[in-house]
């Protein structure tokens, strides 16, 4: 067992900045923005003092609603220094979701960008809090959101009731370095420092409370599994508001002094440009991102020879995609990480030297200092090697709980400290795990348990198929039937019969999808997770099965 680090996020950055002051910390190639670790640490201190001047105390909640802006990552480490809890807001949120989050999280401060994909964040906020328009910045009084006082907008334009980022930087000068040092010294490793709302495929999203210790140690272990060092340069196109971006991405880089190269909003061309221009050695993404990069018409024009590693996560990786990333893209040491927000997020991970069959056929083995077991969901007894059950995990990485939701916390973490993930998995004799589905996704057809993942993996081998998702739909005879949603590769056409014919003799008859629908995209959360429950709803509508 390794040693659990007892250090705050802010102190971690300070230590690395002292060790490698002139090494590049943060680079935005499209903005021509470059900070060394010394410059980045100084900027984060300045922003931390600005937040202190705004009146933010240790443990206060502040929300950030923006894509991968430089100010996002600066705020992440600034709050890590002055102890406010960073509440990350999904960039796809609309007014009802934002209002719910701000209210449930008791956020005192909101940092936001002006607009995203045609949605004006400013108008959205004014629609929730009309009185913001007539209030003095920093003195908001809202009956609906009694905690919210400060709104800071990222941009040059001024808006009634809101500060600009430049105002925050000016305020910093009124707080002494000594005051910040005293605040930093008061932070405990087990203090909550980050709160992320899980997408909530059922019910309202829940605020996952994560501590310095949760996050720093997870990032340290992720870096170790990737053999990451200060010489690495990581392209981060995954959203910061998700653990994938701000833990497996930015924080993991900082633990070893590597260089962060964020992409503000995912665009396959911009990712390829950033990797080539900055000679990135690591690239993160969900499978759909890698698929978009590999299939970009200009893919072959880019020199990606610097790539070595990276992480594919968020949803299970199709074997063909993994092969293309290791061989065509050249990221021969790409890893798979499996986890969830409640576990900060990494639970299992493949290692850079794992053979390809383990990297495509599994999500790796337990990360250092993490326990994993597979249990029968009905009895909670451990199941034998190779049998499917619910994956449970225990260790330093398990969240402190859901904010103001003791009931949900108690049902997620049992009395012995095991986090129940809700994911179905099987483990081999060497501890490598394979995710076979969600407890809720399993299809039971005429008494046969069918794991959608298995059928998806098979259909990926069809030469015309780009991506596929399999769900169960109600059936009066068998209880449930198998339905496949299929995305075809560009300029390809196929028929339902052609796909079914391909399955015959290769997979069990009861697993061959009874229904096949061709589509151009899947419903997703903003962090790139496919919403199977929505696919099921769409399927039922498509098949007129709604009662």
Q: What are 281-290's pLDDT values in tens digits? A: 999 998 889 9
Predicted TM-score (pTM) of this structure: 0.85
Q: What is the pLDDT of residue 203?
A: 56
Q: What is the pLDDT of residue 524?
A: 85
Query: Which CATH homologous superfamily contains domain 211-438?
Result: ANL, N-terminal domain (3.40.50.12780)
Q: Which tokens is 120 given?
A: 């004006």
Neighbour count for residue 214 (Cβ, 10 Å): 27
Q: How many residues does the chain have?
A: 547
* Domain range list for the chain: 9-197, 211-438, 443-542
Q: Measure the CA–CA gap between 329 and 291, rounded to whole angstroms.
A: 11
The CATH architecture of the domain made up of 9-197 is 3-Layer(aba) Sandwich (3.40)
- Which of 245, 307, 260, 276 is CA-nearest to residue 86? 245
Fold of the domain spanning 443-542 = GMP Synthetase; Chain A, domain 3 (3.30.300)
Q: Tokens 């990350």 sit at which residue?
A: 88
Q: What is the pLDDT of residue 281?
A: 98
- Which of 99, 96, 200 is CA-nearest to residue 408? 200
Report strand pairing: 163-164 vs 443-445: unpaired
Q: What is the pLDDT of residue 545?
A: 53
Helix axes 287-294, 268-278, angle to 10 degrees: 80
- Which of 363, 291, 367 is CA-nearest to residue 323? 291
Whole-number Cα distances in Å, 260 to 68, 131, 150, 505 = 12, 39, 29, 48
* Alpha-carbon Rg for the chain in angstroms: 23
pLDDT (tens place) for every residue of the chain, 547 residues total: 568 999 999 999 999 999 999 999 999 999 999 999 999 999 999 999 999 999 999 999 999 999 999 999 999 999 999 999 999 998 988 888 899 999 999 999 999 999 998 899 999 999 999 999 999 999 999 999 999 999 999 999 999 999 999 999 999 999 999 999 999 999 999 999 999 998 544 457 899 999 999 999 999 999 999 999 999 999 999 999 999 999 999 999 999 999 999 999 999 999 999 999 999 999 999 888 999 999 999 999 999 999 999 999 877 777 888 999 999 999 999 999 999 999 999 999 999 999 888 988 899 999 999 999 999 887 899 999 999 999 999 999 999 999 999 999 999 999 999 999 999 999 999 999 998 877 778 787 876 767 788 789 889 999 999 999 999 998 877 878 999 999 999 999 999 999 999 998 888 788 899 999 999 999 987 767 788 888 988 888 888 754 4
Q: Which tokens is 104 given?
A: 């449930």
Q: Tokens 């509440």 sit at which residue?
A: 87
Q: Measure the CA–CA gap between 48 and 50, rounded to whole angstroms.
A: 5
Contacts of 455 (CB under 8 A, 6+ apart): 470, 482, 484, 507, 511, 513
The two domains 9-197 and 211-438 share their CATH topology (first three levels equal): yes
Omega before 330 within 30 of 0, i.e. cis: no
In three-state secondary structure terms, 302 is: coil
Q: Measure the CA–CA gap between 474 and 457, rounded to whole angstroms.
A: 23
Q: Measure the CA–CA gap between 238 and 276, rounded to whole angstroms.
A: 18
């Amino acid at each position: 067992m390794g040693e659990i680090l007892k250090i705050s996020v802010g102190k971690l950055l300070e230590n690395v900045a002292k060790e490698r002051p002139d090494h590049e910390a943060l680079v935005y190639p499209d903005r021509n923005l470059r900070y060394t670790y010394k410059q980045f640490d100084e900027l984060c201190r300045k922003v931390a003092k600005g937040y202190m001047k705004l009146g933010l105390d240790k443990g206060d909640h502040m929300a950030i609603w923006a894509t991968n802006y430089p100010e996002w990552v600066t705020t992440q480490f600034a709050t890590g220094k002055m102890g406010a809890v960073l509440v990350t807001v999904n960039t796809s949120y609309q007014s009802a979701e934002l209002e719910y989050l701000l209210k449930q999280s008791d956020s005192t401060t909101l940092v936001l960008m002006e607009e995203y994909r045609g949605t004006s964040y400013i108008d959205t906020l004014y629609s929730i809090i009309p009185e913001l328009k007539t209030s003095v910045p920093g003195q908001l009084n809202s009956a609906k959101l009694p905690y919210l006082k400060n709104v800071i907008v990222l941009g040059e334009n001024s808006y009634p009731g809101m500060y600009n980022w430049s105002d925050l930087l000016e305020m910093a000068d009124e707080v002494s370095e000594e005051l910040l040092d005293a605040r930093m010294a008061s932070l405990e490793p087990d203090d909550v420092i980050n709160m992320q709302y899980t997408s909530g495929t059922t019910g309202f999203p829940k605020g996952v409370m994560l501590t310095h210790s949760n996050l720093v140690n997870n990032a340290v272990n992720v870096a170790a599994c990737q053999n990451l060092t200060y010489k690495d340069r990581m392209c981060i196109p995954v959203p910061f508001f998700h653990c994938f971006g701000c833990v497996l991405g930015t924080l993991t880089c900082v633990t070893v002094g590597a260089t962060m190269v964020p992409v503000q909003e995912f665009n396959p061309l911009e990712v390829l440009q950033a990797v080539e221009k900055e000679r990135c050695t690591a690239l993160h993404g969900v499978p759909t991102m890698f698929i978009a990069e590999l299939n970009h018409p200009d893919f072959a024009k880019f020199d990606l020879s610097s790539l070595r590693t990276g992480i594919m996560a968020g949803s299970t990786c199709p074997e063909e995609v993994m092969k293309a990333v290791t061989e065509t893209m050249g990221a021969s040491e790409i890893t798979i990480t499996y986890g969830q927000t409640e576990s900060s997020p990494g639970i299992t991970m493949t290692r850079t030297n794992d053979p390809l069959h383990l990297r495509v056929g599994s999500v790796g083995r337990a990360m250092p200092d993490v326990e994993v077991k597979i249990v029968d969901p009905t009895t909670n007894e451990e199941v034998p090697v190779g049998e499917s059950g619910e994956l449970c995990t225990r260790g330093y990485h398990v969240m402190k709980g859901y904010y103001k939701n003791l009931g949900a916390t108690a049902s997620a973490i049992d009395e012995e400290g095991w986090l129940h993930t809700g994911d179905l998995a099987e483990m081999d004799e060497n501890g490598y795990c394979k995710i076979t589905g969600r407890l809720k996704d399993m299809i039971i057809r005429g008494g046969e348990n069918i794991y959608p993942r298995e059928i998806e993996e098979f259909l990926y081998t069809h030469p015309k198929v780009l991506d596929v998702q399999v769900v169960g739909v109600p059936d009066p005879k068998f209880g449930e039937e198998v339905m496949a949603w299929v995305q075809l590769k560009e300029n390809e056409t196929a028929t339902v019969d052609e796909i079914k014919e391909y399955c015959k003799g290769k997979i069990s008859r009861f697993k061959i999808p009874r229904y096949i629908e061709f589509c151009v995209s899947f419903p997703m959360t903003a962090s790139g997770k496919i919403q199977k429950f929505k696919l099921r709803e769409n399927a039922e509508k498509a098949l007129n099965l709604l009662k």
